[in-house]
């Protein structure tokens, strides 16, 4: 059994809360590691939080401007030269494009250390899968992600998400909610099969726990209909009935729904409310308008109709809630399409997973960092490559 197989076996047989201990033992015994640390990305994507048992906590590492943050952002191993020819290797811990954190390993220096970086990267990939599975049985890694306490509403919203980013040959996806530790009702959801991607962007109504309960009901109603194999317009109708049955029109929820054909780039869309889509194509940013239909749960037995449009390889789609495009500056000036288009254009070189956070950071600067937001905000970015067309 080679070193990589031994490491994989050790991680797969470790108790959920002992994954860090297991990887430390493996990397120490098989690779001569002198130190091994695991960091999880916090909910706001500003810090890498150390996984440790209180009160023996290390200091968080900033995502921006640190060697570990460089590995997290680039999703590539980053080697940092240390003292006495030691080398510190920072390895992204990710699952199918969902960026969880960074594994940092200190090794004796020399060519031997550099020669094992690819093996260490594979071990970090195995660790990422095991952390994802372990979250079902322990709170250790979820606790490590938070640098502040989440509100109950935010706890519910983050637990609803499928992930914060996803990569497939046809597309890259990334999403972010703000304020990360006190989000109310905005949310996103996605699910892919061999041939299709379904994406929902929701803009909740209200504040606090009531907003979170409304969104939870709507998202689970949409998932229930989707998993029954029902077309997207009928998914909206069934979720509309579920929300109306509970709230009788007193509360409702806006949603923008997409069903992408991965083979052709054709998309079926249901626009039921306020979330908006902007497209970056050939250096030009423009809003893509759809026929607005009623939000889910506003009236009883609303019928929804799907519209069609197409995406092309190279398109970047950015979806935002009204907590983005309806924000005002301290002088009362609306953020609007023009400022949002500038933000999208200025982030054109960033990968999809980093775009939502960058847009929301620029939004906070426009609003004024000292000003508390009146609404939560959501941004989702999709980079479309599509499948090669038959020649």
The pLDDT tens digits of the residues spanning 225-242 come to: 999 999 999 999 999 999
Predicted confidence at residue 199, as pLDDT, reads 98
Strands (DSSP E) contained in the chain are: 35-41, 47-50, 61-62, 78-81, 87-95, 98-107, 165-168, 171-178, 187-192, 196-203, 254-261, 266-272, 276-281, 284-287, 307-310, 316-320, 377-384
What H or E segment, with its residue span, contains residue 211? helix 208-227
Question: CA 252 to CA 214: how far, in whole Å?
Answer: 8
Q: Are 384 and 316 in contact (CB under 8 A)?
A: yes
Predicted confidence at residue 368, as pLDDT, reads 60
Predicted confidence at residue 391, as pLDDT, reads 62
Predicted confidence at residue 326, as pLDDT, reads 75
Residue range 3-12, pLDDT digits in tens: 989 999 999 9
**pTM of this structure:** 0.93
CA 121 to chain CA mean position, Å: 22
Predicted confidence at residue 292, as pLDDT, reads 93
- Where are the alpha helices (H) located in 135-207, listed in sequence order? 140-144, 152-160
What H or E segment, with its residue span, contains residue 357? helix 355-367
What H or E segment, with its residue span, contains residue 120? helix 117-134
Nearest CA-CA partner of 153 in 190, 202, 186: 186
For the chain, list residues with pLDDT below 70.
1, 53-57, 110-112, 328-333, 367-374, 390-391
DSSP 387: P
Predicted confidence at residue 231, as pLDDT, reads 97
Contact residues for 155 (Cβ-Cβ < 8 A; gap 6+): none
Task: Put residue 228 in one of left, alpha, beta given phi > 0 → left and psi -120 to 50 → alpha.
Answer: alpha
Q: Are 352 and 174 in contact (CB under 8 A)?
A: yes
Task: Quote the tokens at residue 32.
Answer: 């001569």
Predicted confidence at residue 76, as pLDDT, reads 96
Predicted confidence at residue 1, as pLDDT, reads 58
Question: CA 99 to CA 360: how far, in whole Å?
Answer: 18
């Amino acid at each position: 059994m080679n070193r990589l197989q031994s490491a994989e076996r050790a991680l797969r047989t470790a108790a959920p809360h002992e994954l860090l201990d297991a990887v430390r033992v493996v990397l120490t015994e098989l690779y001569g590691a002198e130190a091994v640390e695991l960091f999880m990305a916090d909910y706001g994507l500003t810090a890498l939080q150390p996984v440790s048992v209180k009160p023996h906590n290390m200091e968080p590492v900033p995502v921006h401007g640190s060697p570990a943050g460089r590995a997290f952002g680039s999703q590539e191993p980053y080697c940092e030269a240390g003292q006495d020819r030691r080398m510190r290797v920072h390895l992204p811990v990710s699952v199918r494009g969902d960026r969880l954190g960074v594994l940092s390993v200190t090794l004796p220096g020399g060519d031997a250390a550099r020669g094992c970086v690819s093996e260490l990267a594979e071990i970090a990939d195995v660790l990422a899968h095991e952390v994802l599975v372990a979250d079902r049985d322990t709170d250790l890694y979820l606790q490590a992600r938070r640098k502040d306490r989440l509100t109950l509403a935010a706890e519910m919203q983050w637990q609803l998400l499928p992930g914060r980013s996803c990569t497939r040959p046809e597309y890259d996806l990334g999403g972010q909610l703000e304020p990360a530790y006190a989000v109310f009702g905005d949310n996103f959801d996605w699910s892919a099969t061999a041939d299709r991607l379904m994406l929902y962007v929701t803009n909740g109504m209200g504040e606090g726990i009531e907003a979170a309960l409304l969104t939870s009901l709507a998202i689970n109603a949409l998932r229930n209909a989707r998993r029954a194999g029902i077309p997207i317009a009928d998914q909206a109708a069934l979720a509309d009935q579920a929300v109306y049955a509970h709230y009788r029109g007193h509360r409702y929820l806006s949603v923008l729904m997409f069903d992408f054909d991965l083979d052709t780039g054709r998309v079926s869309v249901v626009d039921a409310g306020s979330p908006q889509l902007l497209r970056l194509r050939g250096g030009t940013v423009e809003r893509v308008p759809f026929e607005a239909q009623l939000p889910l749960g506003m009236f009883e037995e609303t019928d929804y109709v799907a519209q069609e449009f197409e995406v092309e390889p190279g398109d970047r789609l950015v979806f935002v809630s009204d907590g983005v495009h309806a924000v005002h500056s301290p002088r009362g000036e609306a953020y609007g399409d023009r400022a949002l288009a500038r933000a999208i254009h200025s982030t054109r070189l960033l990968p999809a997973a980093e775009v939502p956070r960058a847009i929301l950071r620029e939004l906070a600067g426009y609003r004024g960092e000292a000003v508390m937001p009146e609404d939560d905000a959501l941004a989702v970015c999709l980079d479309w490559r599509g499948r090669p067309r038959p020649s």
